[in-house]
Structure 1
Amino acid sequence: MKKITLLSLMLYLGMCLSAVSQSWYSEDFETVTPPAFPANYTSVDQDGDGFEWFTYDASGQDPWTANGNIAGSESYENTAQALTPDNLLIIGPLDLSASSGSPSMALSWEAGATEATSTGWHEEHYSVYMETSTTPGTALFSETLAEGQVLYSRSVDVSSFIGNSAVYLIFRHHSCTDEWRLGIDNIKVRTVANDDAGVSEITMSDPAMLSSGDQAITGVISNYGANTITSVDVSWNIDGGATSMETLTGLSIPSFGTYNFTLSDVWTPVNTGSYVIEISTSNPNGNSDANLTNDMSSKTISIVTQFVQRLPLYENFTSSTCPPCVPANAQMLSLFGKDPQTGINAGKWSLVKYQMNWPGIGDPYYTTEGGIRKTYYGINSVPRVEIDGGWDQNGNALTQTIIDQYYAAPAFVEISSTYTIIGKTVDVSVTVNAVSDIAAFTSSNMVVHMAILEKETYLNTNSASNGETEFQFVMKKMVPDAGGTSIGPLTMGSPVTVNDGYTFNGSYVLPPDGQSPANLAVEHTVEEFNDLAVVVWVQDLSTMAVHQSAWSVYTCGAASATSVDATCGAADGTATASSTGPGTIYQWDDPSAQNTATATGLAAGLYNVVITDDLGCQVTTSVFVNDAGGANVVTQAIPNSCVGGATGIVNLIVTGGTTPYSYLWSNGGNTQNITDLTLGDYTVTVTDGAGCLTFRSASITDPEPIAATSLITSSNGNNGSIDLSVTGGTPNYSYVWDNGATTEDIMGLAAGVYSVTITDGFGCTMTASYTVPVNPISGIASVDAFSELTIYPNPFNSSTTIEFTLRNEQQVSIAVLNIVGELVYAEEKGTLRNGIHKVHVAGDRLAPGIYFVKLQIGESSVTRKIIHN
């Protein structure tokens, strides 16, 4: 009897399992040798372009790294470039007669866009059919993939085909172009389990600000089963840590339907960084889930402390031989204008225009570097515009809404850049600083691109066939080349500076067309060097995402001047000015207001000149014209002893000329040497006995001020202390405290205010007061708010890290004070939970020197000295 009961139980369980999930067809392509398909597969190239479905090993590509072989169809191929596929993958006939009696049946598969990004080429469109012939009828399912490198699990109800002995599955790749590659895998036809749910998508914000506090747990639940889901358990964890669970009730998710959920629980991140959240379902309708493999989804979320304004980069691929480029360029010009700092979108865009070598003979200002950018983006038609490495549309489709959309996206890296022009040499300096640590910045493929542009060109119309006569922001050279300069990965608080430049070779040339571009090794196509600009940007070469861009700021050239002495008593001296800037205008302040580089007919005296270069930048310099044969004068300046004092001295050593000498100083003095001088510049006119004039100037400086920084230990009785560090002035220092102490540091102090007078080696003094607080633990039954405070490295260069452990939840802020106690940087960290925390202090915020970091934790604080090299 026992054996019969056991056998009956086994039979019953087998029938139950069969009813729960029975597979009638399954294919994962692992038994074939790519590019071949299984025997019952047929690929049809309906568009006739010679490209059709194939199999390949995709294990080296996201999102297929765990899949191996998959089926693929392309909308872009490296040689043929953009494709417009209409490709059928027909599977069958399939005999589903064994499914008779099944309560329901589903078709499921996995889909994804390979070698693409969320800002790139992922919008593959496909449809799925189940038919009784090889001709597709009404699609059971159609979609355009919303993201790249994301694996989508899809299911549709095919219960109407239960028991059919000859059916065909058809996957159709169509209605898209110039993306990359659609992938399909793990195709299954199976009996639908009664209760089968899973988290198909996590919709939480990424990145998220640390200051925003609680992060809502949100996502999408998909019902893969036959029964309507009325309740389900949802669990989540961060980085594999403690799991929280919540039961959702009152639901009504139909078979193959979805539900957007928000849990009542929240996640409160306490530090910046990248976190992996896993969300899964269980117990749909209070029953065991029939398929545990589709329950969970995960997502990496970056928590950041700050972001900066984004300046979107527009890369415009165009040509003077392209008729459709005319309205596209006109549309962009109407929205942007010719000056990035004026107009309705001032400060909202940067622009690089690449002239292409097609259609026809192409634009004469085509460069091979522009061609490299074209190939990088997979562009095979113009006009085409990439916005921050994506968008990939005709510029005629650009609207104010799109501009505002890209401008509103936060950026987590800031760029500062300057450039100079000296002759035909353009030198560029770029500093890149990540203001937050996000997952994207861990890429080793981050580069800085620098593009030298001509703001407007007119001569590249010799091969024009579209009627355009002017072109804005035309790329002339990328520095050092189209590959950029590697800077990745990026780390918050560790700025990266790149200095580079390019000298245009030879003379200007206008090539006949884009098929015969200029040889930049011996010639150039710059129409006017005073019309150049520079755009820089940070891009991830692997994802194509542009994280930030900037217009480089022109730096004025350096000015200098020389003179030729005048004949004593005559007006025949000269002064010559020069500037390293391009093409200059001169304005002298001599009686004739001369406006040439060299001013002539000058009597002895001081002359100033304002130099304006062709970019509108002004610099000023001065020069003395002396009388030939006058006195030889050497100055010796002795600085002040104390800051703000009047102990400076200028001594003159006078020889030659004709004695006696007379002196007239700019402060009214008439002696050879002047004393009791304050900070400033002093000019002297020395007249010899023959009336010949000699001019000299000298500067009186102050020493660095005496400054003291303190490290104060609070007092719990008489154990407080003040530890001073003194800089500036002139060593050695002496100390007089108001409690009678004469040492630099004092200890054994009760709580209170202590004053000290510090005297340096020249007798200069500085007085300061310091407060020793009462130890907050004294007299109360509480524990320290924090422990284990460390700062590393210290001294530091690019950044330093403050690491501390909280014993309980506390409000935390950080302040950095300079050596005289002035606040130079502050940051609110909000309420942090117990545990280990890290705060980064960026070196680029601070000049080299000694600083104090004050960490405020609840009602307590701790101050530590840091040294920035």
Structure 2
Amino acid sequence: MRKILLFILAFLYASLIFAQSNVYIVQENFDETTLPSGWVTMGNGVNNWYVSTSNIAGGKPNEAQLKWTPPFNGVSRLVSPSVDLSDVSSAVMTLKHYPSFFGANQAVVGVATSSDNGTTWNSVWSEQYNTNGQYTILETIESPDFGKDNVMFCIYFEGNSSAISDWYFDDFEVYTVESLGVELTSIDVPSIVNHGEHGISFTVRNTGSSKIESLKVRYIIDGETYEQTFNTDIPSMEYQQLTFEDKYLMQPDDSYNLQVKIITVNGEYDDEADNSLSVDIVSALGYTQMIPMIEHFSSSTCGPCVNVNYQMAALTDNHEGQYTYTKYTTNGPGLGDPYYTAEGGTRMTYYNVMGVPQTFLNSVDQGNAAVTEENFMNAFESPAYADVRGTYTIESNTINITADFMSYFDMENVRAFVTVNEKTTTENASSNGETEFHHVMMKMLENAEGNVMNINAGEYQRLEFSYDMSSTFVEEMDDLEVALWLQNYDTKEIYNSHYAYENSEHCHSVKDLLAIVGGDAPPTLYLSWNKPENGTPVGYDVYVDGELMADNLNDTYYSNEDEDICYNAKTAEVVAVYEDGKTSVGVAMIIVRDTNVEETTCGNISVYPNPANDVVKVSTVNGQQTTVMIYNVMGMLVETHYVRSATNEIEINVSDYNPGIYFFNVDGEVIKVIVD
């Protein structure tokens, strides 16, 4: 009887772990900086395959890239390691790709298999293309190689490589399909966010043949766990983004690890490893306007570059003051541009540029085309968690530059780039018919690899250069511009950029910012700061949590005595304003609560009685989880409470506490409590 019972229990458990185990034969997202381990190239164009930092094919950065050069005519293959398909008769194949053609041309791409180490290839899917654009392939495939134990897959290009500039590929997957299957494909919370409440979103894909009607999902962050059951209607092979109802409050200048896991699908338990993801998140002090950085590789010997230059001129004319631009001249095609420099070559190597034209927007590869209006506005409207300002003056052939690079979160080993460009050049005209060129890079300071710096949250670092431009290709010294940007050299992410102000005194930042909340409830915010060490600002802009509270203020202090504003885990920032609307980088900090504030009615939180003997009552929002962390005067954590009250308050027993002062951190707001 006992054996029968154990068998029944085991059977029931096995039936709860649903048969969603889609077996991934190939699952490659090209997320590394080089070709994946075990992948090789075969056929023609074996040196034309790279991994690009772009996401042009429609996946997430990075992606595989086939370049046209060195030119070839034939079949070029990107080949996977061999896999055992002894028990496989058919599978599902998905692939995202983007062809970028030169003019009216066409070529074929496909997927093939081989069971004799690449001697013979059997195509399982192919198609001829002649139009630029994103394509997503979803096919059920069969091959004579299925059922064998040594099968390689390949993505292949067939044709003349001169027909294309590039061909991008991403998210190449081959797998068997069960009835019920789901994949957690991404956590859709940025790695850097502004502090405050954030929705937790994620994306799933139905990898089974049956419709997904419900998902139970859990997220864990900073020791807190949230679960929710989502009612869905996700057809086979489709994606859907979902968002938890419970938002999470992220504190300024803090970091978090967020984990998301699928628990059940259609009521059945999920034990698959690909249904749990985690990401690290930094919560910044604030944010500012993004000024997109355009990097453009071109040459006066390049015919296709002409049209891209015209399109880029039209784009920038429509967005004056909203971009920063540096154009690197290249040493090809042919003899290349007469103004080519080794520093431009270093940037070509950094971005794996093998041919021109090629444009990058905030380091994201735009291919051989101009930056589109849509892509530009998407970049411009995204938040920036760093700020850049600078000025320059010219004395004879020498340019003098001062530049400040500020961050709203702690940055380590970030690189600040400074280029001196000529706005318009003519003497580098060559064979493509163009007679003038714009934003042409003449010099990178200190060099093309940037300037390494560490920046604390709310602070800035300064660079100063003086350089004799007579050794460069400069045509007119009074026609220069200076481009500044801040970049993660490893990931290539650009945090922000700006042109330096021309022929101007430097816009120095304020010093010694102090931000305190004090007084009776509602509390009053007091800000004070000192004038910049140099410079003559005409006023100061004051921000609280990114909201402009006072503009062009003449005083070096600010208070909100006449305003009723809650200061729960907020930040303050002051920007010095100069003539003609020029501004410094800001100085920012977390607003400090004065320890003399005994009780707060800020927002929905209050703590009473204060002083207390036995019990402290903390107000809460009905039904929402509240985190209360209690510290003694030595800064030691006494205890932590995670509570979700059915009423509007909770009680905390302090009868065992030693008499003295304690600090209650209630969802990020710190209140001093005296225990008698």
Q: TM-score range by the shorter chain?
A: 0.5 to 0.7
State the secondary structure of the residue aligned to 2:447. coil
After superposition, the Cα gap between the structure-2 partners of 1:44 and 1:14, relative to the gap in structure 1 and judged at 3 Å, is farther
Instruction: Please state whether the residue corresponding to 2:339 is helix, strand or coil.
Output: coil
Q: Using the alignment, how far apart are the partners of 1:224 and 1:52 within structure 2? A: 33
Aligned equivalent of 2:417, options 449, 470, 473: 449
Instruction: Please say if 1:359 is aligned against 2:333.
Output: yes
What residue number does 1:667 align with? none
Q: Distance in 2 between matches of 1:24 and 1:528?
A: 64
Indicate how the Cα distance of structure 1 residues 197 and 399 shifts in structure 2: closer, same or farther if over 3 A, else same. closer
Aligned to 1:485: 451
Q: Distance in 2 between matches of 1:316 and 1:366?
A: 13
Q: CA deviation at 1:528?
A: 2.3
Judged with a 3 Å threshold, the aligned counterparts in structure 2 of structure 1 residues 412 and 222 are, in CA distance, closer, same or farther, namely same
Is the 2:19–2:181 contact (alpha carbons within 8 Å) kept by the matching residues of 1? Answer: no
Kept in 2: contact 1:426–1:502 (CA 8 A): yes
2:444 is equivalent to residue 473 of structure 1: no
Q: Partner letter of residue 222 of structure 1?
A: R
With 490-499 and 216-225 compared, the bigger mean Cα shift is at 216-225
SS in 1 for 2:202: strand
Instruction: Report the Cα distance in structure 1 between the residues aligned to 2:373 and 2:197, rounded to whole angstroms.
Output: 34
Match of residue 407 from structure 1: 380
What is the SS of the residue equivalent to 1:370? helix
State the shift of 1:429 in Å: 0.5
Residues 826 and 78 (structure 1), Cα distance of their counterparts in 2 relative to 1, 3 Å cut: farther
Q: Secondary structure at the match of 1:320?
A: coil
Instruction: Provide Cα deviations, 1:55-112, integer angstroms capped at 9, x if missing partner.
Output: xxx9xx9xxxxxxxxxx9773699999x995435595783328x9xxxxx86699x99
Q: Work out whether residues 200 and 296 of structure 1, in 8 Å CA contact, stay in contact via their aligned partners in 2.
A: no
Question: Equivalences for 1:265-664 in 2 at 5 Å?
Answer: 265-289=246-270, 291-336=271-316, 343-394=317-368, 397-434=370-407, 436-437=408-409, 442-444=411-413, 446-461=414-429, 464-487=430-453, 489-505=454-470, 520=471, 524-555=472-503
Secondary structure class of the residue paired with 1:348: coil
CA contact (8 A) 1:23 1:188 kept: yes
Contact 1:128 1:169 in 2 (8 A): no
Structure 1 position 155, deviation (Å): 11
Offset of 1:497 from its aligned partner? 0.6
Residue 20 of structure 1: how far off its partner (Å): 4.3
2:226 pairs with 1:244 = yes
- Which residue in the other structure is 1:95 paired with? 86
The equivalences for 1:58-73 within 5 A come to: none
Give the total of aligned pairs. Answer: 528
- With over 3 angstroms needed to count, the CA separation of the structure-2 counterparts of 1:135 and 1:51, relative to structure 1, is farther
Q: What is the CA deviation profile of residues 659-710 of structure 1, one whole-angstrom value per residue up to 9, with x for unaligned ones?
A: xxxxxxxxxxxxxxxxxxxxxxxxxxxxxxxxxxxxxxxxxxxxxxxxxx9x
RMSD over aligned Cα, in angstroms? 6.0
**Contact 1:385–1:391 at 8 Å: present in 2 too?**
yes
Aligned match of 1:201:
186
Residue 805 of structure 1 is matched in structure 2 by none
Which secondary structure state, in structure 1, belongs to the residue aligned with residue 384 of structure 2? coil
1:135 and 2:122 correspond: yes
Partner deviation per Cα, 1:734-764 (whole Å, 9 max, x = no partner): xxxxxxxxxxxxxxxxxxxxxxxxxxxxxxx
Q: Which runs of 5 or more structure 2 residues have no equivalent in the other structure?
A: 29-34, 54-62, 98-107, 159-163, 507-513, 534-544, 577-583, 607-668, 670-676
Secondary structure (helix, strand or coil) at the match of 1:364 reads coil
Return the letter of the residue paired with 1:404. Answer: M
SS in structure 1 of the partner of residue 186 of structure 2: strand
Judge conservation of contact 2:188–2:202 (CA < 8 Å) in 1: yes
- The answer for the alignment partner of 2:46 in structure 1 is 50
> Post-superposition shift, 1:527?
2.2
The equivalent residue for 2:212 is: 229
Aligned to 2:200: 217
> Which string of whole-angstrom CA distances, capped at 9 and with x for unpartnered residues, describes residues 442-466 of structure 1?
341x2222212222223234xx122
Native 8 Å contact 2:423 2:481 kept in 1: yes
User: Structure 1: which 5+ residue stretches go unaligned?
Assistant: 30-34, 62-71, 100-104, 114-124, 147-153, 337-342, 506-519, 559-708, 715-774, 777-783, 798-810, 863-869
- Alpha-carbon separation, structure 2, partners of 1:157 and 1:712: 63
Structure 2 equivalent of residue 120 of structure 1: none
Q: Is the 8 A contact 1:195 1:288 kept in 2?
A: no
- The answer as to whether partners of 1:814 and 1:829 remain within 8 angstroms in 2 is no
**Contact preservation (8 Å) 1:73, 1:87:** no
**Does the C-alpha gap of structure 1 residues 14 and 378 become closer, same or farther in structure 2, counting only changes over 3 Å?**
same
**Conserved 8 A contact 1:106-1:155:** no
CA contact (8 A) 1:494 1:842 kept: no
- 1:267 CA displacement: 2.3
- The letter of the residue matching 2:42 is D
Q: How far 1:539 sits from its partner (Å)?
A: 1.9
SS in 1 for 2:416: strand
Q: Cα distance 1:327–1:416, how it changes in 2: closer, same or farther (>3 A)?
A: same
Percent of paired sites with the same residue: 23
Letter matched to residue 137 of structure 1: V
Distance 1:491 1:274 in 2: 14
- Contact kept, 8 Å, 2:424 with 2:479, in 1: the verdict is yes
Distance 1:136 1:232 in 2: 37
Q: Determine helix, strand or coil for the equivalent of 2:122.
A: coil
Q: CA 1:334 to 1:15, structure 2 compared with 1: closer, same or farther past 3 Å?
A: closer
Contact 2:48 2:67 in 1 (8 A): no
Distance in 2 of aligned mates of 1:19 and 1:448 = 52
Structure 1 length-normalised TM: 0.49
Q: CA deviation at 1:502?
A: 0.9
- Taking the aligned partners of 1:232 and 1:847, their CA distance within structure 2 comes to 45
SS of residue in 2 equivalent to 1:369: helix
Could you tell me whether the CA contact under 8 Å between 1:815 and 1:825 is conserved in 2? Answer: no
Look up the match of 2:102: none
CA contact (8 A) 1:419 1:429 kept: yes
Residue 638 of structure 1 is matched in structure 2 by none
Specify the code of the residue in structure 2 equivalent to 1:411: A
Q: Residues 44 and 853 from structure 1, CA distance in 2 versus in 1: closer, same or farther, beyond 3 angstroms?
A: closer
Q: Distance in 2 between matches of 1:317 and 1:188?
A: 39
**Kept after mapping to 2: 8 A contact 1:424/1:503:** yes
1: distance between equivalents of 2:5 and 2:80? 47
SS, match of residue 200 in structure 2: strand
Query: 2:660 maps to what in 1?
Result: none
User: Aligned partners of 1:479, 1:419: CA distance in 2, in Å?
Assistant: 13
The higher-RCO structure (CA 8 Å, 6+ apart) is 2
Deviations along 1:352-398, one digit per CA (max 9) or x if unpaired, are 22222222222222221122122222112122222222233335x34
Shift of 1:485: 1.4
2:286 & 2:340 partners in 1: Cα distance?
A: 40
Equivalent AA in structure 1 for residue 320 of structure 2: A
Residues 426/284 of structure 1: CA separation in 2 closer, same or farther (3 Å cut): same
Larger Rg: 1
Cα displacement (A) at 1:428: 0.7
- CA distance, structure 2, for counterparts of residue 283 and residue 486 of structure 1: 47
